Amino acid sequence: MFLHKIDEEVTLKLMEMNDAERVFELTDQSRNHLREWLPWLDFTKKVEDTKGFIQGCLKNFEENKSLNTVILYNDKIVGVAGYNSINWSNKTAYIGYWLGDEFQGKGIMTKVAKALTDYAFSDLRLNKVEIRAAVGNKKSRSIPEKLGFTNEGCIRQAEWLYDHYVDHVVYGMLAEEWNNER
């Protein structure tokens, strides 16, 4: 099992089936907030949908294709973060994340993204970490910006969000840049 303590308040834990109820509850409580930027909310209507997602995450973890964790804040699940995918041939991890509405603004996600970036370079020996966010998603974009990621450009109409396309900004960090700044 993957367990990574970031500090006294924040820990990352491999998502497990017994987390499904809480992850679904958090999703449901934050549905309106999350729906603005995440395309999967309309497909997550019951706990069984979250269980299906977790099963897929665990299968991909076993196959070394991704790492999806729950974010524990003071021992309570407050969000999800991890590597949505890992491209081993290019040595690149793609970080994705979301946080329950009431837990925003506490610096949790910046700590999480920093820890995931550190882990990608120090433990997994990857060369690059990418974070993508919709152009208008200022909160999500502020995280890689705070961590010194490079804005590598914009992918036009990168994602379909219910009734419209959104452009994505791609942020990248190379291992040598990360290590030189630390």
Predicted confidence (pLDDT) per residue in 12-36, tens digit: 999 999 999 999 999 999 999 898 9
Per-chain mean pLDDT for the chain: 96
Name all domains of the chain by residue range, CATH numbers in brackets.
3-181 (3.40.630.30)
Asked if residue 173 lies in contact with residue 150, where contact means CB atoms within 8 angstroms, the answer is yes
Helix (H, G, I), strand (E, B) or coil at 63: coil
Residue with tokens 């060369």: 127
State if pTM tops 0.85: yes
Is residue 76 over pLDDT 90?
A: yes
Q: How confident is the model at residue 168 (pLDDT cuts 50, 70, 90)?
A: very high
Q: Which two tokens stand for residue 166?
A: 């959104």
Report the amino acid identity of residue 102: E
Length, in residues, of the chain:
182
| Mean pLDDT of all residues in 39-64 | 95
89-119 core/surface letters (b: 16 or more CB in 10 A; e: else): eeebbbbbbbbbeebeeeebbebbbbbbbbb
Q: Which two tokens stand for residue 157?
A: 């109409």
- Residues contacting residue 153 through CB under 8 Å, at least 6 positions apart: 169, 170
Task: Give the model's pLDDT for residue 24.
Answer: 97
Average pLDDT over residues 55-70: 97
How do residues 113-137 score in pLDDT, each as one tens digit?
999 999 999 999 999 999 999 999 9
CB atoms inside a 10 Å sphere around CB 73: 19
